[in-house]
Amino acid sequence: MHSLTIALNMVRRIIGTRKGIITFIILPCVVVTATIALMGQNSNAKVNIPYVNQDTGPAGQHIIEELSRNDNYELKPLNGEEELRDAILDKKGTLGILIPSGFSEQLLQGNVQDIRMYELMAGEAGIMIKMNMNSIVGRMVRTTERLSVMNLDTGVQFDVFSKSLQEVSKHLIASQKTDYNLYAKNGLTNVTGFTIMFMMGLVTSIVRMILDDRRNKTMARIYSAPVRSYQIAMGHMMGSFFVGILQISIILILSRWVLGYEYNIPFLTHFLILGSFMLVAMGIASTVAGLVRNPNNASMLNNMIITPTCMIGGCFWPISFMPDYMQKAANFVPQKWVIESVERIASGGQLTDIWLPLSILGLMAVILLAIGSVILRPSDTGVGV
């Protein structure tokens, strides 16, 4: 079968040489796996929050104590605004908090001073902590409102306030959370996102090779043999696919069993999801290759497509944090569906639960590969634009 011959030839060319194995198998898989390990550690890391409490009263203290209740936050006291700023600028802390002096006094008099939050880069942690602090301060404000209605002496008011806060920190009325760990691991999205970003990059290099063939006319030579053009296209697809599957397998094996990263996803399902994505990536790369003749420009264009689609697709931040219209745009981006499938399964879903994302990925793959194969005509020399 001609397609198979072409495919196997391609595989041999890609990974048949020592350089090929290093460039396409060893190097990328090691890099991706190492990154997974690092990112895995990262998501278990706590959010570093240096703070400066210039308030001498109970309110400032209360805020700090309440924030400390969260196990994910690592609060560290510093000595002044200067030090705090430096810590943030040097990225020693994710965000910094400054409670201004006289906060408690002012609060009791009905003036709430703003707490200052120092952040170098926007992130999920910032939003959550901001929300948290607003709730804490909000409650204290309402408490003071209640107290002010009671018309107490300043000293008594202060005393009541102080003692109330102490009482509050006992948290007699609170929630008791039972966590069966049904949800997907924190950081799984980022890990998946990075993996698929890398996969797209690899597919680009493979398609580039096909483009070079077109330019070198070796593709035309194949076509001059009794081979149909669809067989050439199929052969190339199959060849790229074989190499891609090999890469996925190695990455999964290394990260699961050598590094021990717990995906909480069955191997085959994971393989299926990533494999479908690989087909879509191949489709994108070949469509680009078909539209752009010059191999250099095609690779560049492909690389430039990878970053924005990964961003919209939720590889770096949760889609739910983006505005509505962007969330809708995300539906057209394959990354979103991969991440959704991965998260679903990792939080206890079954294969049947992800039939929708998988079908969408499949559909995208079919359409893009069809377009790509039509455009990748062997006769074009590919020297122009």
Partner 1 sequence: MNMAFVEIKDVVKRYGTNISVDHLNLSIHEGEIFGLLGPNGAGKSTTINMMSGLMKLDHGSISVDGISVNDRPLEVKKRIGLVPQELALYETMPAADNVTFFAKLYGLRGKLLKERVEEALEFVGLQDRAKEMPATFSGGMKRRLNIACAIMHHPKLIIMDEPTVGIDPQSRNHILESVRTLNKMGSTIIYTSHYMEEVAAISDRVAIMDQGHVIACGTQQELRERVASTEKIVIKATQITEAVIDELELHPRISRVSSNEDVIELYVASSQQELQDILFICAKHNVILQSLACEEPDLESLFLNLTGRKLRD
Partner 2 sequence: MNVWMIAWFELRRMFRARTVLINLFVLPLLLIFILGTALSTFFNADDKIHDLDPVKVAMVESVGNKGAVSSQLNTYLQSPDIVKMIIMQDVPTTEEAEKLLRSQKVDYVVTVPVDFDHQVMTGKEAKLELMLGSNRTANMVAGTVFDSFLDEINHGQSVAIVVGSMGLKQEVAVSSGSPSDAHSYVSVGKLNDAATSYSAAQYFAVAMLIMFLLYSGGTASDSLLNERENHTLYRLQSMPISHIQILVGKMIGSSIVAIAQTLVIITVSYVLYGTNWGQQPVLLAVTCMLLIFASMMIAAIVSLMSKSSSGASNFMQVLIVAMTFFSGGFLPIPVGFIQNIGEFTLNHWGMKSILQIMLHGNISEIISSIGMLAGICAALLAVTAIVYRKVGYHA
Footprint (CB under 8 A) of partner 1, residues 356-385: 381, 383-385
Q: Is residue 338 packed enough to be buried (19+ CB in 10 Å), middle (13-18) or exposed (0-12)?
A: buried
Instruction: Determine, following the binding rule CB under 8 A, whether residue 308 of this chain makes contact with partner 2.
Output: yes
- Which strand (E) or helix (H) includes residue 150? none
Instruction: Determine, following the binding rule CB under 8 A, whether residue 291 of this chain makes contact with partner 1.
Output: no
Partner that binds at residue 225, options partner 1, partner 2, none, CB closer than 5 to 8 Å by kind: none
Binding-site member from 1, 18, 79, 121 for partner 2 (CB under 8 A) = 121
Structure token digits, residue 160: 């009541």
Binding-site member from 33, 53, 61, 94 for partner 2 (CB under 8 A) = 94
Find out whether 257 and 322 touch, Cβ atoms under 8 Å: no
Find out whether 43 and 185 touch, Cβ atoms under 8 Å: yes
Binding-site member from 179, 225, 260, 352 for partner 2 (CB under 8 A) = 179
Sheet harboring 95-99: ordered strands across?
73-77, 47-53, 95-99
Distance CA 98, CA 117 (A): 6
Distance CA 303, CA 289 (A): 12
- Quote the least distance from Cβ 383 to partner 1, whole Å: 5
Partner that binds at residue 171, options partner 1, partner 2, none, CB closer than 5 to 8 Å by kind: partner 2
Would you say 122 or 383 has its CB closer to partner 1? 383
Distance CA 300, CA 220 (A): 24
Closest CA to 312 of 302, 303, 322, 299: 322
- Quote the least distance from Cβ 156 to partner 2, whole Å: 8
User: Which residues, numbered 15-44, are part of the site for partner 2 (CB under 8 A)?
Assistant: 23, 27, 31, 35, 38, 41-42
Instruction: Determine, following the binding rule CB under 8 A, whether residue 307 of this chain makes contact with partner 2.
Output: yes
3-state secondary structure of 75: strand
Would you say 38 or 383 has its CB closer to partner 1? 383
Q: Is residue 20 packed enough to be buried (19+ CB in 10 Å), middle (13-18) or exposed (0-12)?
A: middle
Partner that binds at residue 178, options partner 1, partner 2, none, CB closer than 5 to 8 Å by kind: partner 2
Instruction: Determine, following the binding rule CB under 8 A, whether residue 65 of this chain makes contact with partner 2.
Output: no
- Quote the least distance from Cβ 289 to partner 1, whole Å: 18
CA 98 to centroid of chain Cα atoms:
30
Partner that binds at residue 228, options partner 1, partner 2, none, CB closer than 5 to 8 Å by kind: none
Distance CA 115, CA 102 (A): 12
Of 229-237, 268-276, 320-328, 368-376, which part binds partner 2 (CB under 8 A)? 320-328
Of 8-16, 254-262, 342-350, 372-380, which part binds partner 2 (CB under 8 A)? 342-350
Of 226-234, 251-259, 348-356, 371-379, which part binds partner 2 (CB under 8 A)? 348-356
Query: Which residue is it, tokens 């690989």?
Result: 278
Find out whether 75 and 49 touch, Cβ atoms under 8 Å: yes
Distance CA 132, CA 134 (A): 5
Instruction: Determine, following the binding rule CB under 8 A, whether residue 76 of this chain makes contact with partner 2.
Output: no
Distance CA 107, CA 22 (A): 64
Partner that binds at residue 106, options partner 1, partner 2, none, CB closer than 5 to 8 Å by kind: none
- Quote the least distance from Cβ 380 to partner 1, whole Å: 11
Considering CB under 8 A, how many residues would be counted as binding partner 1?
4
Partner that binds at residue 33, options partner 1, partner 2, none, CB closer than 5 to 8 Å by kind: none
- Angle separating helix axes 267-291 and 188-216, nearest 10 degrees: 40
Instruction: Determine, following the binding rule CB under 8 A, whether residue 208 of this chain makes contact with partner 2.
Output: yes
Which residues are at the interface with partner 1 (CB under 8 A)? 381, 383-385
